[in-house]
Amino acid sequence: MTATLVDGKALAAKVRAQVAEDVAAFGEPVCLATVLVGDDPASHLYVGWKHKASAEAGIESRDHRLPEATPESEILDLVAELSADDGVDGILVQLPLPGHVDESLVTSSMDPAKDVDGLHPINAGRLFLGQPLHVPATPLGVMRMLEEYGVELKGSEAVVIGRSEIVGKPMAMLLLAEHATVTLCHSRTVDLAQHTRRADLVVAAVGRPGLVTRDMIKPGATVIDVGINRTESGIVGDVDRDVAEVAGLLTPVPGSVGPMTIAMLLSNTLQAARHRRLGLAVPGS
């Protein structure tokens, strides 16, 4: 079997075109503020892409870049300022933050109504309770891809590898909401292959090249590779390339999950603007 490759770029372009149309129809400015602390070249690249995509969708953006040594209190002050600023609809603090900064303190400090990353406890809790508002863009993009490619989730066996707040945990919640039987694997899982081999869907979100090999995949399964790893042979995911010989559907890296993440961020930003203008405040904010 040779897997069908998910064209995430094409789907992302479709989502972005829809967001652009909806932003124009909304008729009021929509604004995303990003905060990037430090010098990580990949983070600078990603944030640059987010601003370019925002502009193309008619979303204004504000770009706050702070030096690596910025004290935590200054970052908290900036987030408080953006939370209080009526001209800002969405706030994205690019992760990871430098080691001296408590990430969860920063994400918890923002107005949950503007938390387009879905990391504030209110948004994470709403997802947990089956009442989602802002959901992290990467797992949201994965769900959109699965829908587009007609992947049946109800009653399926789904294995998510990685338990991060931004991908693994929300991914598991979204799949559960669609009636998949979800197994959440992580670094302490004993015999990962035993779980993945019975899965109809595997989502790998760890950041380790070569984590998923072809012998770990059931023939015909859907394999979603969220990993982005810089290696000597270029950018690779968490899934070995020859998994394409057994999987039924596979996301190539780069160019599949990444573009969808940006598209869903724009969609979340428009959603935040709509909720704020319509006065649909997030309970607890």
Catalytic residue of the set 7, 22, 50, 240: 50
* Residue whose CB is less far from ligand GUN, 80 or 280: 80
Residue with tokens 């990871």: 96
Can you say how many angstroms the Cα of residue 152 is from the centroid of all Cα atoms in its chain? 21
Residues that bind ligand GUN (rule: CB under 6 A) add up to a total of 9
Which span sits near ligand GUN by CB under 6 A: 25-33, 92-100, 199-207, 217-225? 92-100
Q: Is 32 in the site for ligand GUN (CB under 6 A)?
A: no
Interface with ligand GUN (CB under 6 A), residue from 6, 15, 59, 93: 93
Interface with ligand GUN (CB under 6 A), residue from 7, 111, 115, 117: 117
Q: How far is the CB of 44 from ligand GUN (least distance, A)?
A: 12
* Cis peptide bond upstream of 112, omega within 30: no
β-partners of residue 66 are 37
Interface with ligand GUN (CB under 6 A), residue from 30, 36, 57, 95: 95
* Residue whose CB is less far from ligand GUN, 162 or 248: 162
* Residue whose CB is less far from ligand GUN, 141 or 252: 141
- Yes or no: say if 166 and 132 are a contact pair by the CB < 8 Å rule: no
Q: Is 137 in the site for ligand GUN (CB under 6 A)?
A: yes
Per-residue DSSP letter, 245:
G
In Å, how far are 61, 92, 137, 187, 255 from 64, measured between CA atoms? 10, 10, 20, 34, 26
In the residue annotation, 50 being an active-site residue is answered as: yes
- Yes or no: say if 56 and 87 are a contact pair by the CB < 8 Å rule: no
The Cα–Cα gap between 12 and 226 comes to 15
Interface with ligand GUN (CB under 6 A), residue from 166, 205, 212, 257: 166
With a CB cutoff of 8 Å and minimum separation 6, the contacts of 43 are 36, 94, 96
Q: At what angle do helices 137-148 and 257-277 cross, to 10 degrees?
A: 110
Residue with tokens 């693994």: 168
Q: Is 127 in the site for ligand GUN (CB under 6 A)?
A: no
Question: Which two three-digit tokens encode residue 162?
Answer: 């990685």
* Residue whose CB is less far from ligand GUN, 140 or 246: 140
Which string of x and - marks every residue 245-264 that binds ligand GUN (by CB under 6 A)? ----------------x---
Q: Which residues bind ligand GUN (CB under 6 A)?
A: 92-95, 117, 137-138, 166, 261
